[in-house]
């Protein structure tokens, strides 16, 4: 075992939450270190959603890690909800004064990792067997193994940014603070270097189930369809998936669905989850370690970013002698989390076919979408949630 090192905030996990927190703390001159289980290539290749709220792009701009975001991000002034052949455009810029930015989470992660050395942010990749110690005492610490050597980091605080499966949440007793909903289907996604079939996203509720046409750039498309949880990727050769996408988007999109070699095909389950104890002694949770949203509405990364906006401010205030941010962190974060949970759940229920639903529920979905099509009030309510509620 090497001699213990000492830092201000020991951050577990180098996903978007941990990386943003690390950069914001370093920019304020606060000592911190990130310990990450995976290697850099693995972290940089994970494919996730790609719609950024202004709260998220503001953080990247504040850090000055925005050159590629500014050059390559697509400013989207609207998105579409659809059923049958009805396309309902939600003009988010006109309704809220704010667009969203299409820029992949993978790119955000790469930009944050690339900027780390020049900003003196230490990311320790391939840290195995991370264990949190004494989180409710005055001197918490983290141990892990790297290159066969056991290491220990003493810290003032531990930030649990280690996603849904990480050890941080498990270090907190789950007494009456866990809320969960699983959905009886998953999303089968494909990423391909082909031009998108529409200039803005289309979330479609079709007779065959939900489908989403999204993109990463003018030449890279991202599509998803709803599939039963029993399906496996092997059941979906690319041509079968393209046939299905063509069928679902032909009546809705402005251009045909173009086929091309798949860069990735995967199936992800959908889940809503909140763990309300986001502070336990000197341990603070942020991002997916504390909550999961279904991908409908693309709130996952944005919610991790807003947690970090609150938590970084709270740590910075602490080191200036003000405890109120840390004391209020959980309540502030949860108020926004629950609203994003509500919106993701609402959009999931509105746009998917649930196996237990019959013809009546289907009519309810169509009636609601027809109402959205006619009501500016409904469109505004959807738009202000989609672009992100204020911090």
What CA–CA distance (Å, rounded) separates 184 from 352?
A: 10
| Interface characters, 184-213, with ligand APR (x: CB under 6 A) | ------------------------------
| In the complex, minimum distance from the CB of residue 14 to ligand APR, in angstroms, rounded to a whole number | 5
Closer residue to ligand PHB, CB minimum distance, 74 or 158: 74
Return the SS3 of 58.
helix
| In the complex, minimum distance from the CB of residue 131 to ligand APR, in angstroms, rounded to a whole number | 9
Of positions 9, 10, 14, 225, contacts ligand APR by CB under 6 A:
14
What residues make contact with ligand PHB under the rule CB under 6 A? 49-51, 201, 214, 222, 295-298
- Residue 83: name its binding partner from ligand PHB, ligand APR, none (Cβ under 5 to 8 Å by kind): none
| In the complex, minimum distance from the CB of residue 289 to ligand PHB, in angstroms, rounded to a whole number | 20
The token pair at 193 is 């270097």
Footprint on residues 24-53 left by ligand APR (CB under 6 A): 35-38, 43, 48-49
What CA–CA distance (Å, rounded) separates 54 from 225?
A: 27
Return the SS3 of 192.
strand
Span between the terminal Cα atoms of the chain, in Å = 43
- The answer to whether residues 3 and 153 touch, using CB atoms and an 8 Å cutoff, is no
Element (H, E) at 190: strand 178-192
| In the complex, minimum distance from the CB of residue 210 to ligand PHB, in angstroms, rounded to a whole number | 11
Of positions 167, 195, 260, 328, contacts ligand APR by CB under 6 A:
167
What CA–CA distance (Å, rounded) separates 22 from 246?
A: 43
What CA–CA distance (Å, rounded) separates 201 from 79?
A: 5
- Provide the 8-state DSSP code for 181: E
Of positions 201, 304, 311, 337, contacts ligand APR by CB under 6 A:
304
- Residue 196: name its binding partner from ligand PHB, ligand APR, none (Cβ under 5 to 8 Å by kind): none
What CA–CA distance (Å, rounded) separates 169 from 50?
A: 26
Which residues contribute to the site for ligand APR (CB under 6 A)? Answer: 12-18, 35-38, 43, 48-49, 105, 127, 130, 161-163, 165-167, 287-288, 300-301, 304
């Amino acid at each position: 075992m090497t001699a213990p090192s000492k830092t201000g905030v020991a951050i577990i996990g180098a996903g978007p939450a941990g990386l943003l927190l690390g950069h914001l703390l370093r920019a304020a001159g606060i000592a911190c270190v990130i310990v990450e289980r995976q290697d850099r290539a693995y972290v940089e290749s994970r494919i996730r959603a790609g719609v950024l709220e202004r709260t998220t792009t503001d953080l990247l701009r504040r850090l000055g890690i925005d050159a590629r975001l500014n050059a390559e991000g697509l400013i989207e002034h609207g998105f579409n909800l659809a059923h049958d052949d009805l396309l309902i455009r939600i003009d988010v810029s006109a309704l809220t004064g704010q667009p969203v930015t299409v820029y992949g989470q993978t790119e955000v992660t790469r930009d944050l990792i690339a900027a780390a050395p020049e900003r003196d942010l230490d990311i320790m990749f391939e840290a195995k067997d991370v264990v949190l110690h004494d989180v409710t005492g005055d001197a918490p610490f983290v141990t892990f193994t790297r290159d066969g050597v056991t290491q220990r980091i003493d810290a003032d605080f531990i930030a649990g940014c280690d996603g849904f499966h990480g050890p941080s949440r498990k270090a907190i007793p789950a007494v009456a603070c866990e809320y969960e909903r699983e959905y009886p289907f998953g999303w089968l996604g494909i990423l391909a270097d082909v031009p998108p079939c529409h200039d803005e996203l289309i979330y479609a509720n079709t007779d065959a189930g939900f489908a989403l046409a999204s993109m990463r750039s003018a030449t890279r498309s991202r599509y998803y369809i709803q599939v039963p949880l029993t399906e496996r990727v092997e059941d979906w050769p690319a041509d079968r998936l393209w046939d299905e996408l063509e069928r679902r988007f032909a009546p809705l999109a402005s251009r045909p669905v173009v086929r091309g070699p798949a860069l990735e095909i995967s199936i992800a389950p959908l889940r809503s989850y909140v763990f309300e104890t986001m502070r336990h002694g000197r341990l603070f949770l942020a991002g997916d370690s504390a909550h999961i949203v279904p991908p409908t509405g693309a709130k996952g990364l944005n919610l991790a970013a807003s947690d970090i906006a609150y938590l970084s401010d709270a740590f910075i205030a602490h080191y200036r002698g003000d405890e109120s941010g840390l004391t209020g962190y959980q309540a502030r974060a949860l108020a926004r989390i629950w609203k994003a949970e509500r919106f993701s759940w609402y959009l999931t229920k509105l746009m998917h076919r649930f196996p237990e639903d019959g013809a009546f529920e289907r009519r309810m979905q169509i009636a609601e979408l027809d109402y959205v099509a006619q009501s500016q009030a409904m469109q505004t309510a959807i738009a202000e949630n989609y672009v992100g509620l204020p911090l």
